[in-house]
Amino acid sequence: MKVTIKDIAAVAGVSHSTVSRALNDSPQISSATKEKIKDIAKTMNFEFNAGARSLSGRKTGNIAVVYQAIHDQFGSSLYVSQLFIELRHFLERMDMDVILLEGYHPETGSSNISRLLRQQKVDGFLIVHDLIKQRDYESIKQSGLPIVQLHLPPVYCQKEELDYFFTDHFMGGRLATEHLIKRGCRRILTVSTTDSESEEFRQRTLGYKQALKDFGIPFEEDLVFAADSSYQKGYNLFRIIPEILANVDGIFFQTDIQAFGFLSAARERGLSIPHDMKVIGYDDAPICELANPPLTTVHQPRRKLAELACERIVDLIAKRHNESRHQEVLFPHIVVREST
Amino acid sequence: MKVTIKDIAAVAGVSHSTVSRALNDSPQISSATKEKIKDIAKTMNFEFNAGARSLSGRKTGNIAVVYQAIHDQFGSSLYVSQLFIELRHFLERMDMDVILLEGYHPETGSSNISRLLRQQKVDGFLIVHDLIKQRDYESIKQSGLPIVQLHLPPVYCQKEELDYFFTDHFMGGRLATEHLIKRGCRRILTVSTTDSESEEFRQRTLGYKQALKDFGIPFEEDLVFAADSSYQKGYNLFRIIPEILANVDGIFFQTDIQAFGFLSAARERGLSIPHDMKVIGYDDAPICELANPPLTTVHQPRRKLAELACERIVDLIAKRHNESRHQEVLFPHIVVREST
DNA sequence: ATTTCCTATGCACACGTTTGCGATATTATA
DNA sequence: TATAATATCGCAAACGTGTGCATAGGAAAT
């Protein structure tokens, strides 16, 4: 038997409206009755019926988390799934449930977003890590539901109208390169990705250049190399660009997984890391500790990002201080291990 | 402006009850009006309000997917996240949304399940890969909502009362070992896990023993080794049990990730796989193809499992042919690559 | 003591959908 | 042609919660 506010009202000897108001902390209820009603509710194990609540009050207690992929094909980008776990954790603590939209693809789009909107199933959207189609973005905006973006804001949107939190990838690239330089490297290769759409990798490379400039090291076009973000490409680097590697004393991999592949190949060739060459990765995947040698890497503050985003979306849903946008760009930091 | 069935009724010149019945394919509506109403609904971009629907009709269109971990700490068990992607895909095609309960721990339990139940937010539960607490299991049962288990049924429950689908791990272990034997191996090590709770690994080891028996190879206690399910442990195997490895010509790793670590260590030591030793893994993680050499492994039919489970839970929710339980144990098969 | 004002609560309707039952129109039967 | 049976649809209540408005009661001001 499901217990409703009417059941509570009967026990408390008040009307159901009073129960509703009491449990929602309405100021027009005396603290004495509030307390009594809350006690009864607790002992009766009461929870609001979600459907009824959303029907009348327009709050579902659900937020949609939109992902292109919860993990990529090879499980390489652990960062995104790590972030998801943090997000779910914070939302759970706020009694919010997560409706996960995974497999969202910018090209094909997804009818799911507009369906959720029309069904009025969610209170807000958390867009994680990937760009969403302008059409979807605008239909959310038009519905009036809040959006928090955990990624660079898409190019088509006015920055002023979106709440977002992400990591400064320029700074990440800069710090990583600086770290290598301070460790004595002078000819530093950076391995970026072949995903030319991706602004974040462009930023990492720009940061790399800036660090070189800061230390008066001339930039060489050859030392920026684009490779798939895969273990395989890191592993094969010796075969792909042998002559370049011969004159390099440090590598900044813009993805951990590439670095893992490279470390493995280096061991086979008897190249000693960090003695002969220093290596730094990006993302601080948990396996970094287990690499051989353990991989120095750039850590994005995923827990903090998740916390900020969750607090923000909940505030926006509650319509608290939402007069202006919240936008923060957090700094990454270097986790020093044994590969540098 | 949200469009409701009343809006459609106004346009169609009928009552909103007729619209409701027409869109729900009630037999008491003529096919002419049905068609007309459905057309109007489509052009007006109508979707049922989820809250109202669940209030009256008791259907939310949500199903809870319960996970202990969507991926483990080291991203090693890609199987579970792969399975999740399949699940979500099938559920999406049935217009069901997924409320993901992740981070469920059997010891600490989770208040979320009982909260979802009392809030009446979901129509059913898909329990993936991990055991759930008896208390949670029973409160779901008691609520009358259907459960489909994608794992061995928990010990405390009568098998007759639960729908489940999973892979035959005994057969997996047997096939893997058979494969090695047919490839000429005679002294086969199997590396299991230290997780003693886990029935599925016990089954894999039993299958291993059975295969030995089938081929008249004597079983040796020493050749069953329990190690963490991690890359690290596979990598360090040479240091942990050197004397055992010296006399072994094949290894059945009960987890791919252990095999990856071992392959890496083998390369460093100049041990040629599959020439000097043959190696088989378990789970068919996507990176198997990229290992060096590509890893032969046991594939669990995750897509089929997901499909069966999703179809079943939807049927149960719709109260179609739910007089008896559906229980299937699927067979795994070997994916032959270059490590054997 | 009367009036005024506020506090605390109840009444009744609304939200969008489903559904039992009754009403009407249509067709078949005698 | 009158009646019965059937197909089609509308009315109204219900699901559980939120909330504007009215009101009862009490305290404070006159």
Is B156 in contact with B134 (CB distance < 8 Å)? Answer: yes
Taking the CA of residue A146 and the C1' sugar atom of nucleotide D12, their distance in angstroms comes to 38
Q: How far is CA A34 from CA A26, A38, A50, A52, A204, in A?
A: 9, 6, 22, 22, 55
B59 touching A (Cβ < 8 Å): no
Contact B73 A112 (CB under 8 A): no
Name the nucleotide nearest A52; use CA and C1': D16
Helix (H) or strand (E) holding B226: strand B224-227
Q: State pTM to two decimals.
A: 0.89
Q: Chain B 285-324, CB below 8 Å of chain A: which residues?
A: 285-287, 290, 292
Is A278 in contact with A249 (CB distance < 8 Å)? Answer: yes
Taking the C-alpha atoms of residue B288 and residue B296, their distance in angstroms, rounded to an integer, is 8
Q: Is the dihedral of CA B195, B197, B203, B205 positive or negative?
A: positive
Evaluate if the CB of B247 falls below 7 Å from strand D: no
Low-confidence ranges of chain B (pLDDT < 50): 75-76
Low-confidence ranges of chain A (pLDDT < 70): 1, 71-78, 106-111, 130, 196, 321
Q: State residue A314's pLDDT score.
A: 93
The crossing angle, in degrees rounded to 10, of helices A199-214 and A169-182 is 40
Q: Which residues of B276-308 are buried (b: 16+ CB within 10 A; e: fewer)?
A: ebbbbbbbbbbbbebbbbbbbbbbbbbeebbbb
Contact A119 B285 (CB under 8 A): no
Taking the C-alpha atoms of residue A50 and residue A94, their distance in angstroms, rounded to an integer, is 15
Q: Which residues contact A314 (CB under 8 A, 6 or more apart)?
A: A94, A96
Nucleotides of chain C touched by protein CB (<7 A): 7-12, 14-20
Q: What is the DSSP letter of B187?
A: S
**DSSP-derived pairing of the beta strands B224-227 and B62-66:** unpaired
Is B235 in contact with B262 (CB distance < 8 Å)? Answer: yes
Taking the C-alpha atoms of residue A152 and residue A129, their distance in angstroms, rounded to an integer, is 8
Q: Which residues contact B68 (CB under 8 A, 6 or more apart)?
A: B102, B103, B104, B105, B106, B129, B130
Q: Which residues of A201-216 are buried (b: 16+ CB within 10 A; e: fewer)?
A: bbbbbebbbbbbeeee
Taking the CA of residue A21 and the C1' sugar atom of nucleotide D27, their distance in angstroms comes to 24
Using a 7 Å CB cut-off, which residues contact strand C?
A 13-18, 21, 28-30, 32-33, 52, 55-56; B 2, 4-6, 16-17, 20-21, 23-24, 48-49, 52-53, 55-57
Taking the C-alpha atoms of residue B286 and residue A75, their distance in angstroms, rounded to an integer, is 8
**What are the tens digits of pLDDT across the range A316-339?**
998 776 778 899 999 999 999 999
Q: How far apart are the first and last CA of chain B?
A: 63
Q: Which residues contact B321 (CB under 8 A, 6 or more apart)?
A: B315
Q: Which of A59, A12, A18, A66 is nearest to A40 (CA)?
A: A12
B87 touching A (Cβ < 8 Å): no
Q: State residue B153's pLDDT score.
A: 83
Evaluate if the CB of B30 falls below 7 Å from strand D: yes
Q: Which of B138, B74, B29, B16 is nearest to A284 (CA)?
A: B74
Is B155 in contact with B188 (CB distance < 8 Å)? Answer: no
Q: State residue B285's pLDDT score.
A: 81
Q: Which of A224, A194, A195 is nearest to A207 (CA)?
A: A224
Q: Is the dihedral of CA B131, B136, B140, B141 positive or negative?
A: positive
Amino acid at A3: V
Q: State residue B106's pLDDT score.
A: 66
Taking the CA of residue B12 and the C1' sugar atom of nucleotide D6, their distance in angstroms comes to 24
Looking at B106-224, list the stretches that DSSP marks H as alpha helix, in order from N- to C-terminal side: 111-119, 134-143, 169-182, 199-214
Residues in chain A: 340
Query: Using CB atoms, which residue from A51, A230, A287 is nearest to B54?
Result: A51
Taking the C-alpha atoms of residue B65 and residue B101, their distance in angstroms, rounded to an integer, is 6
Evaluate if the CB of A55 falls below 7 Å from strand D: yes
